[in-house]
Structure 1
Amino acid sequence: MNHQYTRREVFCGNTCHDLTRFWEHEIGKQARQRQSEEHRLGRSALRKLREEWRQKLESKLRLRNPEETEKRLSPN
């Protein structure tokens, strides 16, 4: 029988299980970090500030030229 086709599990024994556990742990750690970052961004005030500034700009534009602003905001 050619050694190329023998199963690797026979040769690596516990090492394969250790590697599997290691990578599962790493993947879990990365998933937790990603969730933590998404949660942090969700609590960030930056989105709220950007929305407030956008609303202020829109209101200033409406005061300057209401007809053009209405044309831009209304769907055609």
Structure 2
Amino acid sequence: MNNQYVRREVFCGNTCHELTRFWEREIGKQAGYRESEEHRLGRSALRKLREEWKQRLETKLRLRNNPEETEKHTHVKATE
């Protein structure tokens, strides 16, 4: 075995464990933040609003591109 690796093991004894614990805690915090942010976004009404506006826009574009369908659409509304 190379002496370089043995020295590193001896040199970082307690320090390595402290660093490992520190980074494990930091990673745990970041995972917690990410989960809470995903949960918050899941409860947000923004996604629902965007979907509704997307549907409205698609309907308007479809009606604009097909004037025949527009006439049918207005005719159906007038008879209701």
TM over 0.5: yes
Q: 1:51 matched to which residue of 2?
A: 51
Q: Percent identity?
A: 82
1:18 shift after superposition: 0.6
Provide the secondary structure at the position in 2 that maps to 1:13: helix
Gaps of 5+ in 2: 71-80
Question: What is the TM-score with the length of structure 1 in the denominator?
Answer: 0.67
TM-score norm. by structure 2 comes to 0.64
Structure number with greater Rg is: 2
Deviations 1:29-49 (A, max 9, x none): 111111111111111111100
Match of 1:24 in 2: 24
Structure with the largest fraction of helix: 2
Higher relative contact order (CA 8 A, sep 6+): 1
Change (3 A) 1:3 1:49: same
Deviation at 1:10, TM superposition (A): 1.2
| Pairing 1:8–2:5 present | no
Listed as ranges, the gaps of 5+ residues in structure 1 are 68-76
Equivalences, count: 67
| Alignment RMSD (CA, Å) | 2.5
User: For the residues of structure 1 that align with 2:15 and 2:50, how far apart are their CA atoms?
Assistant: 52
- Structure 1 CA distance, aligned partners of 2:31 and 2:25? 10
Cα deviation for residue 14 of structure 1 reads 1.2
